[in-house]
Amino acid sequence: MKLLRKPLLLLLVIVMFIFSSCKINIGSVKNTDSSSNSDSSSSSESSSEIDSSSIEDSSSNTSTTTVKPPVSNIGIPVNQHGQLKVNGSHIVDKNNNIYQLKGLSTHGISWFPDIVTKESFKTLRDNWHVNSIRLAMYVDEYGNGSCYLNNKQVNKELMNKGIQYCIDLGMYVIIDWHVLNPGDPNKYTSDAISFFDEFAKKYNKYPNIIYEICNEPNGNVNWNTNIKPYAEKVISTIRKYDKDAIIIVGTGTWSQDIQDPVNNRLSDKNVVYALHYYAATHKQSLRDRLAQCYKAGLPVLVSEFGNCSADGNGGNDFNEAKKWLQLLDSYHIGYYNWALADKNESCCIFKPGTNLKSGNWSDSQLTESGKFIKDWYTK
């Protein structure tokens, strides 16, 4: 018996090691499975704004490819997740895992160019867990001299810098054709075609790129007559060079009318439809609209949101803001907060006078909204 003692002890150690390894592997599988359950969490009650009987079965608009559970956003985003694409109601990564874009939007880069630095974007990636930057290029704004149409070369150079910094840092980047005033995107169709022709040709090899072709259509425009025909022309231009990038298309009433494309979608399968909200103005009824559109299989991206009123000012409503973000997280819908600027407005992340270039910001330089956003993104 004494002779057998050492081999028996060795065998016992080996068995315990194998059992321990199995427990670790089983645990990681369980964690992956449980993360997929969050996609089926309960949503807001349906709104009467949409007649659910008029919404087609989403199965006809949804890819049959199996979508894997969501993955972590932490790390170097593009290196880990590669080319994104649309699959049903979700954005998925190169491995077909659901991927949630969590980004920040610049204000107009022609007005607040200082934020467009590699240092600032790196801080947002590493310390705020931001995986994407939206570069807002105001188009006209009733002839404002700083906007794109009146200062094309300077604005394109600034846009190119921002894109290159995101590529260098492995971040996703939205090239935002920021139509706002006037609100009919067709006023700028030829300019948009020329703009996206240039940028799609230049950056078509990079999986970082996302195109947003009309920020907030508004005024006397609607999806069927104005927005969809415009989008078809611009998407056709982009697809000459870039077959794979996601394209964001704005919807009517400042990108709130996401119900309009549900039964009249664009034929391009890699399109998402923009929803914009400001928490102190847009509340349960718009969340209900989102819930119904999501259930109908419409891929939605919140390419702009704020915690204050729709004019960018007024008090922040963080209670409503949490309701919004909790709903978006439960659906794994991406979102971008407005705005990376130090303008004296409630919506801005930084207090006036903050050095935007450095990226070396203390919490004392953040506004009330800025602190909330940082805390939410890093929780």
- Give the residue numbers annotated as catalytic, written as ranges: 216, 304
Q: State whether residue 167 is helix, strand or coil.
A: helix
Q: Which amino acid is at 89?
A: S
> Rounded CA gap, 308 and 314, in Å?
6
> Rounded CA gap, 213 and 192, in Å?
8
> Two tokens at 91?
């954005």
Alpha carbon distances (Å) from 15 to 23, 264, 341: 13, 61, 59
Q: Position of tokens 């009467």?
A: 48
DSSP string, 345-366: STT-SB-TT--TTT----GGGB
> Two tokens at 243?
């077959």
**Residues near 205 by beta carbon (within 8 Å), at least 6 away in sequence:** none
DSSP 44: P
> Rounded CA gap, 367 and 306, in Å?
13
Using DSSP bridges, classify how beta strands 271-278 and 300-306 pair: parallel, antiparallel or unpaired: parallel
Q: Which helix (H) or strand (E) holds 300?
A: strand 300-306
